[in-house]
Structure 1
Amino acid sequence: MLLTLNLSAARQRATVAALAVLHIAIIIASNYLVQLPMTLFGLHTTWGAFSFPLVYVATDLTARVLGAGPARRVVRWVMLPALVLSYVISVLFHDGAFAGWTALGGFDVFVFRIALGSFIAYAVGQMLDIFVFSRLRATLAGGRHWWLAPAASSVLGNLVDSVLFFSIAFYASSDPFMAAHWVEIAMVDYVVKLVMAVLGILPLYGLLLAALQRWLARGAAAQPVAA
């Protein structure tokens, strides 16, 4: 049986802050990696497709262990810092090479569109993920199919995220390659995320859930509830 943990206010704030830092790190890495195209089975995609699904693991773990409210709080804390830091890091390391501090002196529209697209897609996709996850978890309470809630929320959340992000970031982009291939890249990106969710993210979710609950339970009063 899984546990919902009743943490002290200070411990919950610390946990939410740690999860927010994790989200920001994943978003920054993904916004950098999305600038690096690759070919997968003859189709165009980017390296960012392999890193961003991890943020859904963090969100679903937060919603399951602490509840939907703290999960939404993480998203609110993350949005603006992720926007600013993603822009700064992507400008400094544009196309995989350090451009020098002077690069921050100008305004890079291409990178800003990536950061803005990430900002909007993250906010909408994560809130949808939390809503679907929480509703399904309540509906399936007490059942064995613990994986249905994170699977369904990731499928829908990633779909919305991919559509919003790629259309905002790369439609009529100043980068000829991304402008020509963004629809294909978005479709492949979504398929890669789904494959990762099935083959890697769900097993990782289960392992991290057990480890996180053990760690948090050491300093908290635990109250058993249905999964």
Structure 2
Amino acid sequence: MTRILPGVLAMAAVVVASNILVQFLFGQWLTWGAFTYPIAFLVTDVMNRVYGVASARRVVLAGFVVGVACSLIGTQIMGEFGPLVTLRIAVGSGLAFLTAQLMDVAIFDRLRAGSWWRAPLASTLVGSALDTAIFFTVAFSGALVFLEPGNDVSWANESLPLLGVGPVAPLWVSLAVADWLVKLALAIVALLPFRAIVRKLSPDLA
């Protein structure tokens, strides 16, 4: 457990920071949390590469526990329109994180024998797409209103041009697409720190 403690602490810091920064808007389609949350995939991939699948899964589970704690705290904090974290957001966040991160771990392990960049890039792209799809669908889709009938998500289902320029779609779809595009960009950028950190922690694996 001691050897993965830095990974656990890094994952916890990413989850806490993202839960705080998601409250602050960045432009029309994003929050600041969109830029910190993808770092969770970097943490998972580094732990997977250096310490293996079992250690990576432990770090993911630690992050999940921290995320649940953040959601519970958020449900008790009242904002302008009610609790900062609704049941749907809490469920969507937890389900998306756990599913996407465990998928990331599995894909990375399957591809670890290939080129150094292949496993982190492929696993992060698939995991981040899954994360975005699960979270935004569970949290905001009008089709799932039965999950929390008292939570009005009509604002997220307003029909608008996709990202302001594309075909008409519910607002939450634009939010999801913007979020995924950030994850896509950061997945590529994160290859550099991934390489550097792995070289530092375990030169023989670099």
TM-score by length of 2: 0.78
Distance in 1 (CA, whole Å) between partners of 2:48 and 2:196 is 16
In structure 1, the partner of 2:165 is: none
SS at match of 1:122: helix
Of 49, 72, 86, the residue aligned with 1:64 is 49
User: Retained in 1: the 8 A contact 2:74–2:83?
Assistant: no
Alpha-carbon spacing, 1:136–1:85, altered in 2? closer, same or farther (3 Å)? same
In structure 2, the partner of 1:26 is: 14
**1:33 shift after superposition:** 2.5
Q: Percent of aligned positions with the same letter in both sequences?
A: 32
In structure 2, the partner of 1:174 is: 152
Q: CA RMSD in A?
A: 2.6
Distance in 1 (CA, whole Å) between partners of 2:107 and 2:87 is 30
2:148 is equivalent to residue 186 of structure 1: no
Greater RCO, 1 or 2 (C-alpha within 8 Å, sep 6+): 1
**1:88 shift after superposition:** 1.3
Distance in 1 (CA, whole Å) between partners of 2:156 and 2:6 is 34
Distance in 1 (CA, whole Å) between partners of 2:77 and 2:64 is 20
User: Retained in 2: the 8 A contact 1:114–1:169?
Assistant: yes
Distance in 1 (CA, whole Å) between partners of 2:32 and 2:152 is 20
Alpha-carbon spacing, 1:25–1:178, altered in 2? closer, same or farther (3 Å)? farther
SS at match of 1:65: helix
Distance in 1 (CA, whole Å) between partners of 2:182 and 2:196 is 21
Distance in 2 (CA, whole Å) between partners of 1:64 and 1:158 is 18
**Superposed, which structure 2 residues align to 1:44-123 within 5 Å?**
44-88=29-73, 92=77, 94=79, 108=83, 110-123=85-98
2:130 is equivalent to residue 152 of structure 1: no
* 5+ long unaligned stretches in structure 1: 1-12, 96-106, 215-223
- Runs (4+) off by over 4 Å: 89-95
User: Retained in 2: the 8 A contact 1:162–1:189?
Assistant: yes
Amino acid at match of 1:159: A
SS at match of 1:27: helix
* 5+ long unaligned stretches in structure 2: 143-150, 159-170
Distance in 2 (CA, whole Å) between partners of 1:209 and 1:76 is 21
Distance in 2 (CA, whole Å) between partners of 1:157 and 1:74 is 16
Deviation digits for residues 39-90 of structure 1, max 9, x if unmatched? 2xxx622222211110001000000000011111222233223211244157
Which is greater in Rg? 1
User: Retained in 1: the 8 A contact 2:15–2:66?
Assistant: no
Distance in 1 (CA, whole Å) between partners of 2:85 and 2:157 is 11
**1:170 shift after superposition:** 2.3
